[in-house]
Amino acid sequence: MPRTVTVVGGGAIGLSAAWELSQRGFDVSIIDRSRTGKATSWSGAGILPPANRKISSDPIDRLRGLSHELFPPWAEKLKLDTGIDPGLMQCGGLYLAETPGEIAAMCGMTDYWQELSIECVPLTSEELVAHEPSLATWFRHTSNAAAWYVPDEYQVRPPRYLQALAAACLKSGVRFIENTEVTEMRCLNGHAQAHYRGDWHECDSFVLTTGAWTGRVAQSLELELSIVPIRGQILLLKTAAPLVNSVINMGHRYVLAREDGHTLVGSNEEEKGFELGTTDTVLESLFQFATHLLPELTSAERVAAWSGLRPMTYDGFPMIGRVPGIDNLYVAAGHYRSGLHLSPGTAVLIADLLSESTPRIPIDAFHVGKQQRSNTAHF
């Protein structure tokens, strides 16, 4: 009999883990309180910056590097298995700076990337304009403008990525239990149980992939103060054809165009608890940012705006591992600004753990207990 696994939460992390586990022979169910693939992961921009697993010593960059290696074959397999193209594209990233602080930060970033053998090329004005003609006006009118090109940056289209993951899960036999909230987890004799549809349920292993809501699902795990929701807003514009090819990054904000001319402008960081929604002030500042860089966007159609809740942890590392003191409860949550990018790597690590094989990269830094207020779970 294959071992049963219940994955609680069907975002990029849960769907990826469910897909990987089912391919390794586990009997997988995925539960979501709504429909899968409609929460934070849907709202993300889908930027996948470069990384290098082999050289990185920083735990999160190692995980990013693992995911970065896995993403192209992962996306290709999704496309082959389901016929849904997740829109993975190596579009490159442009990093712009116009204040002394931004230039200093980019110089630091360039040094760091060089240590990791990640290509990051400073551009002259001619090279920048040859690369992205739509940035010519910005460069001409900005006295301290500086730009760097990073070829190994990708974009993926989150709604399509999630659709493909869900279809791939269905195809490999994952059972979907949607519109079903897990209201509490408890532990009996070291073994976890989940409460949903009015009853307590057991299985061989549970994996909590509930993103920003992870603390709320298992209150007794005391993760509520460890995973903080950070709201981010996105503005969607549309032009007849894409104005830029690369992801245009400046500080924490960015503009990227899809092949069909849809242009995403993001983002900001706000602490508003679990409240979703957009505000005129933030959307206007995103619009001003985008048109400052790309004046042609002034006449673009404003198509939509949305927000999402990034799951932030105190040390910036996600939690990936077994909950101390409970033999069959695992957590994979807290991926903050990078959960789409980190989804294949996280899925492989969770599947390694459940298969009792050595994880592909060291995972000590992602230990679940360390972020709790106390070191053991109190069920």
Ligand X SMILES: Cc1cc2nc3c(=O)[nH]c(=O)nc-3n(C[C@H](O)[C@H](O)[C@H](O)COP(=O)(O)OP(=O)(O)OC[C@H]3O[C@@H](n4cnc5c(N)ncnc54)[C@H](O)[C@@H]3O)c2cc1C
Contacting residues toward ligand X, per CB under 6 A = 8-14, 31-34, 36, 39-41, 43-47, 181-182, 209-213, 217, 232, 234, 266-267, 308, 310-311, 333, 335-341
Write the DSSP assignment of 344-377 as a string of letters: HHHHHHHHHHHTT---SS--GGG-SGGGSSSSS-
Nearer to ligand X, 271 or 296 (CB): 271
Structure tokens that stand for 311 in this block: 């799951």
User: Cα–Cα distance between 50 and 91 in angstroms, integer?
Assistant: 11
Contact 362, 62 (CB under 8 A): yes
User: Which of helix, strand or coil describes residue 214?
Assistant: helix
The Cα–Cα gap between 283 and 281 comes to: 6
Decide whether 44 or 369 has the Cβ nearer to ligand X: 44
| Distance of alpha carbon 32 from alpha carbon 42, whole angstroms | 14
Residue 33 C-beta: closest distance to ligand X, Å: 4
Query: Would you say 326 or 340 has its CB closer to ligand X?
Result: 340
Q: CB of 337: closest distance to ligand X in angstroms?
A: 5
What's the closest the beta carbon of residue 76 comes to ligand X, in angstroms? 19
Our CB check for ligand X shows the closer of 226 and 267 to be 267
- Amino acid type, 303: V
Of the two residues 133 and 277, which places its CB atom closer to ligand X in the complex?
Answer: 277
Least CB distance from residue 378 to ligand X, whole Å?
19
Joined together, the tokens standing for residue 127 give: 């090279």
Element (H, E) at 19: helix 12-23
Give 9 or 369: the residue with its C-beta nearer to ligand X: 9
- The secondary structure element, H or E, covering residue 180 is none
Rounded to whole angstroms, the Cα distance separating 204 from 27 reads 10
Least distance CB 140 / ligand X (angstroms): 29
Q: How far apart are CA 80 and CA 61, in angstroms?
A: 29
Smallest separation (angstroms) from ligand X to the CB of 282: 11
